[in-house]
Each structure stands twice: as C-alpha cells, then as structure tokens.
Structure 1
C-alpha cells in the first residue's frame, strides 16, 4: 500500500486492537482512492495538453493561410489568390469552432476534474488523523499492558485506572474515525461514475459537433478549389523538375 497513508511509526501492543480483516479492508478501500486520485490528476494533465495542442493547431493553420495571403505570389496569380483566400476563410472558421469546442470542454470536463481533485487533500488528511488516532490508541494500550503485567500494588492500580480512563476516549475516537472512513470511502469511490459520466458524454458530443462542422467547412473548401488539375504524383514530378532547374543556376552550384 502507498506509504503516503502511514506517516507515523507505530509500536505494536501485544493485544490485537484492530483485526487484520478490518485493516485489509481499510487498505484496500484507501488504495482504490489513491489510484483514483492519481488517475484523475493524469487525466487533468492530458486534457490540458490536448486542448492546448488543439488551439495551437488551429492558430498555426490561420497563421499559415494569413502568411500565404501576404505572399507576393498571390498578387501575380489571381487563381492562386482565390484558392488561398478560400483556405484562409476556412481556417478562420475552423479556429472559431475549435475555440468554442475548447471552451465547452473546459466547462464540462476540465473544471469538473479540477473540482473532483480538490476533494482528495481533505480525504488524505482524514486518513492521517485516523492513523494518528491509531498510534495514540496503540501507545496507551501498550502502557496498559505494562501495568497489567506488574504486581498489583496501590500505585500500580492507580496507574491502571488512570491509563484505562485515558484509553477509553482514545479508543472511541479511533473506532469512530475508522468506521466513518470504512463507510464513506467506498461511497466516494463509487460516486465517480455518476460524477464523471456527464463530463465524458459532453466531451464526446463536443468532439462530434466540432468534426461535423469541420466536415462542412472542408466540404465547402473542396467545392471552391476542386478543379481538374495535376495529381499529387504529377505535382511532385513538376516540383522536382523546377528544383533541378534551380540547382543548375550558378549561384547555387557547388564549389
């Protein structure tokens, strides 16, 4: 089990004050929550990277089309200018829809993930308090056992009574904390499904809406620029021929 939940070195009294079954149940339930916390943090991190990459992609696409529009080549070729203008319009539409998608994901997925993660520090603190209470319980139980092993003189009996009085509220405090955690940890863990399901449904819908719009945008772009022309292979051959012509110029010739 993760050592984050055992901040204290606890001495063991001879008497078994908490059953191995209960301790195993506790460790199992808390272990599941630790795994959930790690998974939630990873999901937050990856969602952030994903949305940042999405925005960077569409912003870069807009920058490329904008740079092409300002290229002197567009002034010299009206057909190319019309094509680049159509591309620029499409990229700006894509960027607008992408920003809308990212904003939606922020509200419905990223923010809920952040709020869910904010609960774990309090939960971990409750476990630490339970461990501190268990340490106090074991410490007093060990003291009690030492006095119980001594001859029952007046001072020893007085100490026995004193330790028993000290032990009672500590035992009750631990048992209450232990019971509460054993009851509430499974409830918290099981609640993750109902909590996250709407978020992931919203994520899927946001992606569907975005790519549906992209299909329309690029469909419109295709209609504007889809004229009979060279195949990709023919363009590659043409580009290679032009490049060979440039390489033949004296200013780029090898020394």
Structure 2
C-alpha cells in the first residue's frame, strides 16, 4: 500500500513540476500536453487512494479484528497471572508466605488449564475456518485491482487521445523519438556513456 501511494504521489509531483516548468509558458502545445498529463496523474492518484483504502478495509483492518475475537481468552489469562512472583526469593523461614502463594496460585492455575483446554478445542476450528475469512478479503482485493486498472486504462487512453498526433504509426513515433534523442546526445553538455 505504501508503494502504491508513493508511486502515485511521485507521478503527481512530476506532473506538477512539469506544469511549473518555463517551457510550458513558452510553448502552448506543450502546456496543453502537460496539463492533460497532470489531470491524468491526479485522476490516477484519486483511484489509487480508493484502492489503498479498499485494501486497508478488507485486509489490514479485518485481520486484527478476527485475531482479537479469537484470542480474547489469552488476554484474560495473562491478566490473571500475578506480577512479580519469584519463589526463589522465599526463604525457609517464610514457608507460610510460600503456602499462601501456592493457595493463591491454585485458582489461577485452574483458570489457565480451563482456558488452555478451551483454546486447544477451538484452535483447530479456527484454523480450518481461516480460508472462509481470507477468501472474501482476497476477492475484494482482486476486485479493487480490477477497478483500479480499468480506470487506469481509461485515464491513459484519454491522455493518449489528447496528446496523440493522428496519422503516425508506432514505428514513426519511435524513429522520431530516436532522432530527437540522438540530437540531444550530440550536444556538448551531454557526457558519453
């Protein structure tokens, strides 16, 4: 999710930086292309945020909720264990303290054993139901991806239609780009690789 957000924010930053470039002020056709690109990147960012929110809701927030429901017994068990008990500190002269501690420990131990037994009975059921929980979450993730990439196809299709020069084939565009790159490489300020 973090990578999607970072990629999306970077694309918006690039388009914003291009818009503030002095070339946009000098060349109206370039400004029109960059404006279309900026609009597409902002739309992409918006859909990306929707996808990230969907993933957050279905996978990230859902897992702890199920974990909390099924592990509530562990929290109760841990809360019942007395803090700071160390029997090694009890001397022979404190045998009454030791027997008192054992008496206090007995109900805690019985509670632990009862909760442990319950967990041992319920864990196989929980384990076998894991697919029932994750399958809808995974389906939701896939649906979010389908919506996202469908929208990206539309956004970039619209962008291509706005900046495309009709009548040129892909090979002609590639030759033009190669020729322009060769001109740039020929400049004295460009270092050879």
TM norm. shorter chain > 0.5 = yes
2:54 counterpart residue number:
104
Q: Find 2:6's aligned residue among 56, 62, 70.
A: 56
After superposition, where does 1:29-48 map in structure 2 within 5 Å? none
Structure 2 residues without counterparts, runs of 5 or longer: 79-102
How far 1:58 sits from its partner (Å)? 1.0
Structure 1 position 242, deviation (Å): 2.8
1:238 aligns with one of 180, 184, 192: 180
- Supply the RMSD in Å over aligned alpha carbons: 3.1
- Paired with 2:143 and 2:155, the residues of 1 have a C-alpha distance of 18
Shift, 1:193, TM fit: 1.6
Shift of residue 231, structure 1, vs aligned partner:
2.0
Contact 2:16/2:38 (<8 A) preserved: yes
**Structure 2 CA distance for aligned equivalents of residues 223 and 112 of structure 1:** 41
Change (3 A) 1:178 1:79: closer
Q: Mark the CA change 1:118 to 1:231 in structure 2 (over 3 Å): closer, same or farther.
A: same
In 2: Cα distance, 1:52 partner to 1:124 partner? 32
Distance 1:124 1:233 in 2: 67
Residue matched to 2:23:
73
- Per the normalisation by structure 2, the TM-score is 0.69
Look up the SS of the partner of 1:231 in the other structure: helix
Pairwise CA distance, 1:237: 3.0
- Contact map agreement 2:73 2:115 (CA 8 A) in 1: no
Q: TM-score, normalised on structure 1?
A: 0.54
Q: Choose from 128, 136, 140 the match for 1:190.
A: 128
Give the 5 Å matches for 1:110-125: 110-118=60-68
Residue 108 of structure 1, CA deviation: 1.6
**Whose radius of gyration is greater, 1 or 2?**
1
Unaligned residue ranges in structure 1 (runs of 5+): 1-50, 129-165
